[in-house]
Structure 1
Amino acid sequence: MSQPLITANQLEELLNTGADVLLCDCRFDLTKPTAGREAYQMSHIPGAIYVDLDQDLSGPQTGTNGRHPLPTPEVWAKTRQRLGIKSNLQVVAYDNQGSVFASRLWWMLRAIGHTQVQVLDGGLDAWNGAIGSKPRQPIALGSMPSALPYSDLVLVDELVANLANTESAAAHLVLDARTPDRFRGENETLDPVGGHIPGATNRCFKENLRAKQFKTADELYREFSILLAGRSAKSIIHQCGSGVTACHNLLAMEVAGIRGSQLYAGSWSEWCADSRRPIATTE
């Protein structure tokens, strides 16, 4: 299993050896979905393909399953075939937004057992090597890889059941990766309803970073250990607005050596789509 992060120097050395590496440019803008692809077409790390959050890393929306629902295992297998992601291939993902979107690809591969995947720490801003402007088309695999289920994935009904179990030792701690104001139900511009899942704790993904690079493993271990307060990683459920920045907290915990926590991919955008589910707005 590769380390979850790779530095720009390490990546450049790896590419110079001629190693078989698939670079994935994951830049995206939630308010302008075409911006990431447009930025990629202008400049990117040479040899990188573009991986789109909406088109490649999400399934179709139904109006009740959130803004970025996970694709089914079958659809994800077809996408991996189209992108040329064969088993055991070294994949390096990057963006220029603090690794938010790259972490989604990292989690989706790790969740199906693809261990050779890393995120470029610091993203494109940390890259000092050559920059290309010629888009690279993915080289599709000759056959479709296996459709594998996502591990450590929590569904909305399990979150609802957890609410009735908060006093139990078996209760899970829900970590919300959104900004504090959105967690409080303020300045909500992406979802129709503001607030958070009752009982959730706020851990904004930005707290994992110093500038655009991740804090050290020791720093992250100390911070997450305080949040866990003796809980096992398996008792932690990560969520955010649509299942993207939650992956950033999962990646940060992996960097800290705290492995085994879970993802509620539907997140707030799925939760608030049903008015019968309770909402909290206080800290």
Structure 2
Amino acid sequence: MNPIITPNQLEELINEGSDVLICDCRFDLTNANTGYEMYKNAHITGAIYVNVDKDLSGPKTGKNGRHPLPSPEAWAKTRQRLGIANHTHVVAYDSHGGTFASRLWWMLRSIGHASVQVLDGGLDAWNGSIGHAGREPSPLATMPEVYPYQGVVTIDEMEQNVKADARKMVIDARAPDRFRGENETLDPVGGHIPGATNRCFKENLVSGKFKSAEQLYKEFVLLIGQQKPGTIIHSCGSGVSACHNLLAMEAAGLSGSRLHVGSWSEWCSDPSRPIER
């Protein structure tokens, strides 16, 4: 399934009566309540709200980053509460170019859930019905099967990669200034993992929508050269916007890259780890 769906395609599915679960993933990294308040004000009719902090993250220890993954068991319980069965067609959207929606996309894809897409352009591109009354999820009668995450890069692997003579390529999705260690407002330390390359997730977009698959392919091939997609590691501040680059590679036909979920917020939590600026 194409990881990206257009507003027209989604509207056709709705009009056909297809069973689609629409998930509003709007969020603000500096104010965790903003997204839900926006949802209550206006959203795609029938959408449920999915919170990046509460639904798509696990407990923080101070050492595992700002948005660690929930355990596979906790993620299965969340899927049950949200009503996401193995066969459910999920369409995620936000109003940030797919930044937060791509986190839900990746978390489902990483456990083998094939029927999940991100709405191109998000709510801003939607011309269909808008709802103003929130909808509570319809929980599943039983908890879905627990599946381990695939394509996850651990902090130990990242440390080994930094020390390796032949490093795997790490693509950091943060803005260039934060990558350089400037204007850091979310994490206590600025900089990036040694050897990482910067491609801000916004480079995947034009006018708020994803570039064509052909254009994304050209740009990523230029970036990664002869390296195979399966060797590429995606990073960012806390494992959210990195999913956007991973999704863009998938849309370009460059499948198999992996995610360092803890990303910079996990890396910089240990002062003994080296930093580049």
- Residue aligning to 1:13: 12
Quote the Cα distance in structure 2 between the aligned partners of 1:180 and 1:43: 32
- Residue aligning to 1:29: 28
Quote the Cα distance in structure 2 between the aligned partners of 1:136 and 1:18: 18
Matched, 1:76 2:72: no
Q: Compute the displacement of 1:20 (Å).
A: 0.4
Letter in 2 for 1:209: L
Match of 2:43, SS state, is coil
Quote the Cα distance in structure 2 between the aligned partners of 1:105 and 1:146: 18
Q: Determine which of 259, 268, 276 is the counterpart of 1:263.
A: 259
Q: Determine which of 198, 202, 217 is the counterpart of 2:198.
A: 202
1:116-155 paired onto structure 2 within 5 Å: 116-155=115-154
Match of 2:124, SS state, is helix
Quote the Cα distance in structure 2 between the aligned partners of 1:271 and 1:99: 25
**Structure 1 runs of 4+ off > 2 angstroms?**
none
Q: Determine which of 231, 235, 238 is the counterpart of 1:235.
A: 231
- Residue aligning to 1:180: 176
Residue by residue over 1:186-225, the C-alpha shift from the partner in whole angstroms, topping out at 9 and shown as x without a partner, is 0000000000000000010000000210000011000000
Letter in 2 for 1:270: E
Matched, 1:49 2:48: yes
Q: Compute the displacement of 1:30 (Å).
A: 0.6
Q: Compute the displacement of 1:146 (Å).
A: 1.2
Q: Structure 2: state its 5+ residue gaps.
A: none
Q: Determine which of 184, 189, 205 is the counterpart of 1:193.
A: 189
Match of 2:136, SS state, is coil
Q: Structure 1: state its 5+ residue gaps.
A: none
Equivalent residues, number: 277
Quote the Cα distance in structure 1 between the aligned partners of 2:207 and 2:184: 24
Residue by residue over 1:107-126, the C-alpha shift from the partner in whole angstroms, topping out at 9 and shown as x without a partner, is 00000000000000000001
Quote the Cα distance in structure 1 between the aligned partners of 2:207 and 2:214: 17
Quote the Cα distance in structure 1 between the aligned partners of 2:240 and 2:146: 21
Quote the Cα distance in structure 1 between the aligned partners of 2:162 and 2:105: 29
Letter in 2 for 1:60: P
Quote the Cα distance in structure 1 between the aligned partners of 2:231 and 2:251: 18
RMSD: 0.6
Matched, 1:247 2:247: no
Q: Compute the displacement of 1:147 (Å).
A: 1.3
Quote the Cα distance in structure 2 between the aligned partners of 1:140 and 1:50: 13
Q: Compute the displacement of 1:89 (Å).
A: 0.7
* TM-score of the pair, normalised by structure 1: 0.97
- Residue aligning to 1:102: 101
Match of 1:128, SS state, is coil
Residue by residue over 1:4-61, the C-alpha shift from the partner in whole angstroms, topping out at 9 and shown as x without a partner, is 0000000001100000000000000011110000000111001000000000000011
Quote the Cα distance in structure 2 between the aligned partners of 1:276 and 1:32: 30
Match of 1:249, SS state, is helix
Q: Compute the displacement of 1:70 (Å).
A: 0.6
Q: Compute the displacement of 1:101 (Å).
A: 0.3
* TM-score of the pair, normalised by structure 2: 0.99
Letter in 2 for 1:163: V
Quote the Cα distance in structure 1 between the aligned partners of 2:8 and 2:230: 33
